[in-house]
Copies of this chain bind each other. A is one copy, B any other.
Amino acid sequence: MSEQIYIGVDLGGTAVKVGICNAEGKLLQTYEGPTEVAKGTDAVLANIEKYVRQIVEDSPYSWDQLAGVGAGVAGFTDLKEGVVILAPNVGFRDVPVRAILEERLGKPIKIDNDANVAALGEAWGGAGKGVDDCVCYTLGTGVGGGIIIRGKIYQGFSGLAGELGHMSVVPDLEAIQCGCGKMGCLETVSSATGIIRMAKDAVERGDRTSLAQVENIMAKDVFDAAKNGDEVAERIVNRAAFYLGKSMAAVAAVLNPQRFIIGGGVSKAGDILFDEIRSVFAKFAPEPLQRGVEIVPATLGNDAGIVGAAGLFLRS
């Protein structure tokens, strides 16, 4: 039989990205088209169909080789029923995506939320390739995550496993309230939002920092200042890294994963962030839980979502 292929769909508010993967998680070809949210749910689903048919047509593969289509959606999804319950950025509410696309494409369909799908993409075809048990952190506006157990996404009791940004790690005395309503969540200090907040607080307090000259501080400005020896910026970066490393030590005691994979915009800071995370992890994780364990950057970047969506067939 000829090689089977899998298509992953990353359904975003502006663009639909689709990609063809082989059974080993290698991304072979990509295609992108507008989502056209304004035209309504039917139009968005018709676009997905169109782009999936188009990418296969453009490729050296035949429609018969296509074993299934997976899709990642930012929002709440009912995995068992294949229904998107609520996905505000594409305007979906209670849309039976699986049933509709199966009807339109005549292929098996799977859906999951974007954080899980991105984690699976890294685990399957990126920085976790060949590793059965890994934990993925995504450091962006918030802190997301995904747990890969025995090679597959682990959902937990109500589909909320991997909400790593909501581990309460900051001691009460220094804690601030998180968007989730609780105090001291990792997200309050280790997300781009948290880093920017700490920088603005420092400037407002009148701390001596080059960040005072920056008009609209972004997380990247804080990392750049830290790399240039700005002590206030260094302190902020170290604080973000401290709670990441400490949370990983806690995760290690619970799950003993082989690899931690860190992706998302903030992870682009590189060594200045990773060195400190690794050092804090080594400080708090008992030695046997460190042995053979790696903390590595994600490698797929924005393609993680496509690859992971394709992987839903083999790894979920």
Contacts and interface: CB of A to CB of B under 8 A. Distances in A.
Interface string A286-314: 11110111000000000000000000000
A283 interface: yes
A149 interface: yes
B180 A258 contact: no
A256 interface: yes
A214 interface: no
Contacts of A251: 254
A167 B253 contact: yes
Contacts of A283: 182-183
Contact of A158 (B145, B164, B288): B288
Interface residues of A, number: 51
Contacts of A288: 158, 160
A286 B166 contact: yes
Interface string A174-215: 000000111111000000000000000000000000000000
A167 B292 contact: no
A37 interface: no
A169 interface: yes
Interface of A: 132-133, 135, 145, 147, 149, 154-169, 171, 173, 180-185, 246-247, 249-251, 253-258, 283-289, 291-293
27 contacts: A147-B254, A147-B255, A154-B255, A156-B255, A156-B257, A157-B292, A158-B256, A160-B289, A161-B255, A162-B254, A163-B254, A163-B286, A163-B289, A164-B253, A167-B253, A167-B254, A168-B246, A168-B250, A168-B285, A169-B250, A181-B287, A182-B286, A183-B283, A185-B286, A247-B250, A250-B254, A251-B254
